[in-house]
Each structure stands twice: as C-alpha cells, then as structure tokens.
Amino acid sequence: MPSKDVDYSCYLVTDSTPAILGDKDLVAVVKAAVEGGATIVQYRDKTSETAELVQVAKQLHQITKRAGVPLLINDRVDVALAAGVEGVHVGQDDLDLKTTRRILGPDAIIGITANTLEEALEAARDGADYLGIGTVYATPTKENTKSIIGAAGVQQILTALASAGHDEVKTVAIGGINARNVQRIMYQCASPEKKLDGVAVVSAIMASDDPKDATQHLCKLISQPPPFV
C-alpha cells in the first residue's frame, strides 16, 4: 500500500479497558472491525508494558496488513518502530512532530491531536499527515480532555486550516461520535473550504456486542450525506 494513500473515513481507535472492551478479545474485535470496513486502526493502550505493547501491535498488524489497512500506535514511536507498523498518533504532550518525523521517516503516517486552532495550525505547519480534532462531545472514554469543542469548534478549525492554505493536511473528528451523530459531524462540521476526511471512534465499535456490524453501519453512514444537508 502506498503509505500516504490513506483512507481516514472510518478510523478505529482501540481501548483495552474492561469498561469498554468488556470480556471481548482485543485482537478479535479489531479483526471484526476491519472485516466491517474500518479503514485505519490506532492501537491505543495506556497501561501495558512495552514488551506487551509490541507483541499485541504485531498481532494486530498481521490482521490490518492483510486487509491493506494502516496500523498506527498511540504515543509510542519506539513501539511503532519495533512492531514495524505504518505510523503513530501523538498527543500535544508526547514527542514533538518534527522529532517524530525525523525518527520514523517521510513515509510514516503521523497524526496528532488538535484541540484548538493554534494547535491545528502549528501541527499542519510541522508536517502532520492528519489531525485528530476534538474532543467533539464529552465522552466517558477520555475523561481528562482539555475541552469540548462541539461541532462548531471542529468547523472553525477546518475553516482556519483552509484559510491558512493547509489543504494537504487530513482531518478526522474524535470524541463522543456514534451512529446517532456521525452524519451530523461528518457533513455539518465541514466548512465550505475544507471537509472532514473521516471520524475516529472508540466505544461505538470497541464496546459493541457486534463490532463488525457496528463498523459496517458506521461506515455506511459516513459515506452517505444525510438528506437534510
């Protein structure tokens, strides 16, 4: 797969905590989500030790690689390198973008969370491939979010990116997105000059009893503008 020819439309971020995953198996859920049409996967695990992270990342990579779906690692550039995956997603407090790029090289997919206009513009200037814009809506999945920006906040960031000429940087919205609100986010957040490239979800897929069906349903909604747009 050409590494930068990325479909961000249905972006799964994993969560291994019992509150979200329940007693399901992480690898099985990711397999089901990929079968259901997830277009990119981020392995996000804030608690496991490094060796465990690398081992699970390699297992997930076997699944995603077969499907031509990029796998990114949250926070950990070292784990991404060790597992040989396609990239990383970093937060504002993680390793900075320029250093991350220097370590992983031009072909790696590097994304960063952007909560404000300033963070979004800086990340675009520093060569992020994509921005995870949010938190859109309050979510129990990530309780210590800096602020909830709503659909209006996402739209403001998209407009500012377009005005600054950052057509190249891809964008996904994250935070509290599910089958009930995904079309609203996808199509009503877009500014006239810049659309969202996708949405990222955790619980809408990871907490589902049927992750394949949940992913299929989300992907279908993501690809269809609602009738009122």
- In the list Mg ion, ligand TZP, none, the entry touching 177 (Cβ below 5 to 8 angstroms by class) is ligand TZP
* Residues between 41 and 80 that touch Mg ion (CB under 5 A): 75
Q: Which residues bind ligand TZP (CB under 6 A)?
A: 13, 134-135, 139, 141-142, 145, 174-177, 201-204
Closest to ligand TZP by CB, 9 or 141:
141
96 binds Mg ion (CB under 5 A): no
- In the list ligand TZP, Mg ion, none, the entry touching 69 (Cβ below 5 to 8 angstroms by class) is none
- In the list Mg ion, ligand TZP, none, the entry touching 87 (Cβ below 5 to 8 angstroms by class) is none
- In the list Mg ion, ligand TZP, none, the entry touching 176 (Cβ below 5 to 8 angstroms by class) is ligand TZP
Sequence length of the chain is 229
Work out how close the CB of 46 gets to Mg ion at its nearest, in angstroms, rounded to a whole number. 8
Closest to ligand TZP by CB, 21 or 65:
21
Binding residues for Mg ion, rule: CB under 5 A, are 75, 91, 94
